[in-house]
Amino acid sequence: MIRVLLVDPSLYTAPYDAALSAGLAANGVAPRWAVRDLRPGEEGDIPEAEVAMHFYRLTDGRRRRSGKAWKLVKGVEHAIDLRRMERLIAREAYDVVHFQWAALPRLDVAAIRRIARGRPVVFTVHDTTPLNGADVSQAQVQGYDMLFTAAQRLIVHTQGARDALIARGVDAARIAVVAHGPIALRLAPRPDPDKPADRWRVVLFGRLQAYKGVDVLVEALGLLPAETRARLNVVVAGDPLMNMAPILARAEALGLHAPTLTFRLGRLDDRAMSDLLGSADAFVFPYRAIEASGVLFLVAGFRKWMIASRLGAFVDAIGSAEGSGALVEPGDAAALAAALADGIGRAPCATGMDWAPEWSTIGRQTADLYQQLVASHCRQGIAHDVR
């Protein structure tokens, strides 16, 4: 049995992590995780028995801190925790280490290179653009690119992502395409008594960041005639990880008010999230940059009309099945406005998640990759015996 340590320090994609973990376990892999502790109000996705260590014991999880000073402390803690993790890897003799995210690329690259001296390291490139195009320093961009050379093998979720890495000079033989799988809700949705009966509800849900294109959605609604706005109930919901004040001010200036446009800012618990998503008539993803959206894989099973930017997994989900939704160019508010108007009252012809593989398949593909890497290291006399 292959023993693997999977690394997601900030627990950025907990539902994905848990589903992948189950898929790996079903294929003869013993997964363990290095993640932060749960924050107040969070539900655990990864079984506690699979958590090998916690990052950020001082600055995150149940002791989450905020502010610039604590951010600096967290950076120092990340470096310390990487060293703790390296000692754990040596002590527990993991066969493979699989990074899901790199919180501080330059520090993570150095750790990956040290770990790779004794065992294979895999890095999943969830997004080929650093931080999905956010305004970051050149040092962060350079550090991100260095990740592509530090790990022995890279995993991407789409053929488009593979092509993008090859165009940036990554050896094609080092890149494996392993698709994202469906994410299930914990709770069954209940009817929403506050949903306007005479309006088409379109939902944008998730952590609100610049690349999500909330501002593009606001501009698109502003382009619609009053009679079309009167038929829409657009709900933007999620924890804001950006300054929302300019977007709220722009919505006000355009005369966009409830029930045409409603903001539900803040983290939604499982019950509120499930009820909101279940009440949607359609979902919108006006993203500027993305490869594989966890929210897409959460809502696709509802079999509702979807409007999305022509990017990454959205092309696979919508473009591969005619009649499942509409694709628009990123940042094109006029095209988005037309798609919103055209989508009112439309139901998809496609069959939900038929285009996405099951997690058992994803687990098998990933386990096969681990086995190939371990065998290669053993032949070279680098890796230890696989138990």
Residue 356's pLDDT is what? Answer: 78
pLDDT, tens only, 33-89: 999 999 988 888 899 999 999 999 999 988 888 888 998 999 999 999 999 999 999
Rounded to whole angstroms, how far apart are CA atoms 177 and 204? 28
Phi, psi of 171 (to 5 degrees): -65, 125
Please calculate the CA angle 75-77-78 and round it to the nearest 5 degrees: 65
- CB of 65 closer than 8 Å to CB of 59: yes
- Catalogue the long-range contacts made by 267-275 (C-beta closer than 8 Å, 24 or more residues apart): 267/41, 267/238, 267/239, 268/205, 268/237, 268/238, 268/239, 269/41, 270/43, 270/185, 270/186, 270/187, 271/187, 273/185, 273/205, 274/185, 274/186, 274/187, 274/188, 274/189, 274/190, 275/189, 275/190, 275/192
Phi, psi of 153 (to 5 degrees): -140, 145
Tokens of 373: 């890497």
Tokens of 69: 């000073």
Q: Minimal CA–CA distance to 145: which of 119, 163, 127, 157?
A: 127
Q: Minimal CA–CA distance to 277: which of 296, 293, 255?
A: 296
Rounded to whole angstroms, how far apart are CA atoms 84 and 24? 25
Q: At what angle do helices 105-115 and 138-150 cross, to 10 degrees?
A: 20
Rounded to whole angstroms, how far apart are CA atoms 172 and 149? 12
Q: At what angle do helices 68-92 and 105-115 cross, to 10 degrees?
A: 10
Residue 132's pLDDT is what? Answer: 63
14: CB partners within 8 A, 6+ apart: 8, 35, 45, 46
Residue 40's pLDDT is what? Answer: 87
Residue 129's pLDDT is what? Answer: 76
Rounded to whole angstroms, how far apart are CA atoms 19 and 119? 24
Q: How many CB atoms lie within 10 A of CB 168?
A: 10
Residue 383's pLDDT is what? Answer: 45
First to last CA, the chain: 5
Helix (H) or strand (E) holding 187: none
| Domains along the sequence of the chain with CATH | 2-181+358-379 (3.40.50.2000), 200-343 (3.40.50.2000)
Q: How many CB atoms lie within 10 A of CB 196?
A: 15
Q: Which residues of the chain have pLDDT under 50?
A: 383-387
Q: Minimal CA–CA distance to 326: which of 295, 282, 261, 356?
A: 282
pLDDT, tens only, 185-205: 888 899 988 899 999 999 999
355: CB partners within 8 A, 6+ apart: 316, 317, 320, 321
Residue 386's pLDDT is what? Answer: 40
